[in-house]
Amino acid sequence: MSRRNGRGVLSLVSVGPGLPEFILPRAAEALRASEVIVGYELYLKWIQPWICGKEIHSPPLTQERERARLAIEAARLGRRVALVSSGDIGVYAMATLAFEEMREEDTFEVAVIPGVTAANACASLLGAPLSHDFATLSLSDLMCPWEWIEQRARHIGAADLACVLYNVQSRTRSDGVYRVLAILQEHKSPDTLCGVVRNAYRPGGSASVHRLGELPALTFDMLTTIVIGNRFTRRRREWIYTPRGYHDWSEGAAPASPVPSRAIWVFSGTRDGNELARRLAAEGHPVVVSTASGYGAEVARLSCPGAAVCSGRQGMERRRQALESGAARLILDATHPHATQISGQLIELARRLDIPYLRFERPSLLDPRNAIVCDDAADAARRAIGCGRRIFLATGSKDLETFVRTPGAERCEWFVRLTPDPQRLSRAIALGIPRERILAMQGPFPAELNRALWRSQRIDCVVTKDSGDTGGYGEKQTAAGELGIPLLVIRRPHVDYPLQVAGVEEAVRAAADLLSARTAPAVEGLS
């Protein structure tokens, strides 16, 4: 690329994922023609054949704006400059910084030279998952408020777009990816095909195919890119692909379980929720029990004869469609006291669809005199690390990462008790919990079992949630007291439930009252 009229030249050069064969001829020409090369040191290693003997500037990774300024200043002095970036320099990269640093009065020439993006490179290692509409989303909140990232994730999920997640996970930003995955699962089926690619086309790279519901059990880093399909994405051999055209828009949708019309929908997964469903079905009401996991569905089928059962984290939109198409008469929320996300969704769906909502909230047994009360999982993790070294977690799988990633956690030995669900067990193993410290058991458990278990494992601290009597809280408190070890309890999050009851009998009566109120004929006023 030659200079005209003695003006400087600024080439914004994309060098792809790292292999020389992915560097386009136009990029190679710009590098050869440049006097000054500016870029991150790692990228410069990939382009050595084209930059030997040139003036090199390589400010470190966090000084992107300084790199742009160096390149601009050299171009203003009439020099031929190449500002280098991996992938495509115009996608989450250096080109925009260069344009921000330019002035209207600058006269140097500018050329933007495209390249192979991370999205393209990673998709090619998986097959053809981006063959129809797709979006990209960076999970770094350094340049964008986190609430915007979550909002965009919701729109991507609601549109069922295939998507590529950039900047997935760092040491200081470990939980954001799991929040985004949870948002996407509000709209996408957990069976949606996805790919996880690390170091695409670089030494030590890897690519693997997963279901969306499996991703929360994995750990990632800043060298990882996640590709998430849509409901049409298919698998062929070891590859995944998304069809170019969707000739039947119903194709690919998860088949709905046959459910009765005008039923009471009991959102359960707990023992008392199943008891409520059983009682209502025995009284002749059509009942649907909805659980988050396949294991929960198995338990519900055994516990709730006469009720239809459906399972899976189907997302808010799918749930709306099921409630609306089935003409649901009542939403009975009997989910776990700490499952506030699903409760919030159910309250919103009840409002949108004009369906009565009833919350069954088991009574709390929390007594601050017999426990150390914690505000949330992060608070409990910090306190537990200060209390003991052999810590028993009876908190479920959702918050495991919070405990094992908290500073100081590496000094502790973590023991966890989980329901025997494959996804939950895989998540614990992926987080580094040794298999011999994982207990796959269905509770609740008597105090005698807790006491014997904790004594044999030399547990010196127990963490649980304020789960009430049905969740075995009293038995844990008794066993910890008898052994003289601290019991840390995560308090329940506050939710403003529109209508709440505390007992099974009260819930059955309240459900009948709500249904009667909906079916009672209108009474004309006297004139």
φ, ψ of residue 100 to 5 degrees: the values are -65, -35
Q: 87 with 166, same domain?
A: no
| 13 DSSP β-pair partners | 84, 113
For residue 3, tell me if it sits in a domain.
no
| DSSP E strand boundaries for 301-345 | 308-311, 330-333
Q: 417 with 270, same domain?
A: no
User: What is the tens place of the pLDDT at every residue in 475-493?
Assistant: 999 999 999 999 999 999 9
Q: 309 with 458, same domain?
A: no
Among residues 71, 101, 116, the one where a domain terminates is 116
User: Averaged over 88-100, what is the pLDDT?
Assistant: 94
Q: 329 with 408, same domain?
A: no
Band the pLDDT of 190: cuts 50, 70, 90: confident
Q: In the prediction, which pLDDT does 253 show?
A: 41
What gap in Å lies between CA 102 and CA 87, rounded to an integer? Answer: 22
Q: Give the dihedral of Cα atoms 338, 340, 341, 347; nearest 10 deg.
A: 150
Q: Give the dihedral of Cα atoms 500, 503, 505, 508; nearest 10 deg.
A: 30
pTM, rounded to two decimals: 0.56
Collapse the DSSP code of 162 into the 3-class scheme (helix H, G, I; strand E, B; otherwise coil) and give the result. strand
For residue 342, tell me if it sits in a domain.
yes
Average pLDDT, the chain: 88
Range of the domain at 173: 120-236
User: Averaged over 22-36, what is the pLDDT?
Assistant: 94
For residue 67, tell me if it sits in a domain.
yes
134-138 vs 162-166, strand pairing mode: parallel
For residue 271, tell me if it sits in a domain.
yes
| 247 DSSP β-pair partners | none
For residue 4, tell me if it sits in a domain.
no
Q: 347 with 374, same domain?
A: no
Q: 416 with 464, same domain?
A: yes
What gap in Å lies between CA 295 and CA 427, rounded to an integer? Answer: 15
For the cut 90, the answer to whether the pLDDT of residue 155 exceeds it is yes
For residue 249, tell me if it sits in a domain.
no
User: How many distinct structural domains can be found in the chain?
Assistant: 4
Among residues 197, 221, 236, the one where a domain terminates is 236
For residue 245, tell me if it sits in a domain.
no
The two three-digit tokens of residue 110, written as one number: 């500018």
Q: 228 with 336, same domain?
A: no
What gap in Å lies between CA 128 and CA 108, rounded to an integer? Answer: 40
Q: 355 with 378, same domain?
A: no
Which domain CATH number covers 76?
3.40.1010.10
Q: 86 with 191, same domain?
A: no
